[in-house]
Amino acid sequence: MTRKYFGTDGIRGLVGTEPITPNFVMQLGWAVGKVFAKQSPGDAKILIGKDTRISGYMFESALEAGLSAAGVDVRLLGPMPTPAIAYLTRTFQAQAGIVISASHNPYHDNGIKFFCGTGAKLPDEVELEIESYLDKPMTTMPSHDLGKVKRIEGARGRYIEFCKSTVPYNLSLKGLKVVLDCAHGATYHIAPDVFDELGAEVISLGVEPNGFNINEERGSTSPEALQRAVLEHGADLGIAFDGDGDRVVMVDHAGQLVDGDELLYVIVREGLDGKKFRGGVVGTLMSNLGLEVALAELGVEFTRAKVGDRHVMESLKKFGWRLGGESSGHIICLDKTTTGDGIIAALQVVTAMRRQDFSLRDMLRGMEKYPQSLVNVKMSKRCDPLGNLTVQKAVADAEGELGSHGRVLLRLSGTEPVVRVMVEGVDDTQVEKLAHDVAEVVREALG
């Protein structure tokens, strides 16, 4: 069966446009409630958390009403990072956790995503079962069977302590000056306390959410303000999260951006030095070739999954590995938690820096990123350009010119009507030219 509503990570869109409307979200809450009430008759409990965008209040109420009508108890967490909701779902032994967030998107978007009781994303069969209820008429349980709603107090403190527990108990960040950019998002009241309680001198950006400024010129997708702040304050490093806290990128003391591929390399090196790393690493089709080469030199296996942390997780489970991630900063450390977590990934990198007494830039010795050029080609209608013989020839010609030290990737975006043309190689000028040449062929083929 194909999904009608669920994408690779829940349901997302523009607020007020189907399916991101109060009526649909209430129906979704009811559908989720019916599925989990059936799995745990008379004992179902579901947690709801959200990021800081203004529409979160509206959708929280809609979900609450739908779940209660289905006879499921609800526990409200308020603004919390997505990975915190995964953790709290486990620790409160809830049947599921719901996150109201559109991640790194602007405030006028929102979405709903889910975790099962183990803190992992919902299995495909559960999502399909939920969808089967979405087109059915909504019913309400008798009053004595309605779900009860409570707000969980102390959830923030629980998660802060959990984050700190993922690093050695004797780790001290005393003497380390860190700039944190929380994107005016869900980590605004979490990340600064985590690093402060571990002893770091913390300078905070993006910690004044007003419902409209989430991800606005702040966070992992807009790191320029963080780069400036690191230089201005003479900080040792900067750390930027996205709006819901499952992505992280960093900035070194010289103001240079350090992306998810490079952070994966640092975590692997630290694991090998401490004789704790086992297995390989899962990246994506967009992971820099430099990461693959650097890991090979360390004797570490590397495989690529399709773009999206859901696909990374599937590959990790397939191979029995514990570490994977994306260039964008989704990093999954399965030896620490059950899902991608920006704060926990950042703590693993900072732990490595402190243990080896190296700067972040020093930790990257041994990995050289290959030049990479990405061109987006807009489509008037969704189609696969790889089926076009002219496009196939252009790709083959570019690959022949790059030889064994480069690659060409064409990928349909999962969120926009564009074809992403990516070329990677050793020569910056060549890479840039080939990317635009292939993109032009794709553009002509699409009419």
> Per the omega criterion (within 30 degrees of 0), is the bond before 19 cis?
yes
Strands 73-79, 11-14: pairing is unpaired
Provide the Cα torsion 349, 351, 352, 358; round to 10°. 100
List the catalytic residue out of 55, 68, 103, 315.
Answer: 103
Strands 73-79, 149-151: pairing is parallel
Is 103 a residue of the active site? yes
Q: Residues with catalytic annotation?
A: 103
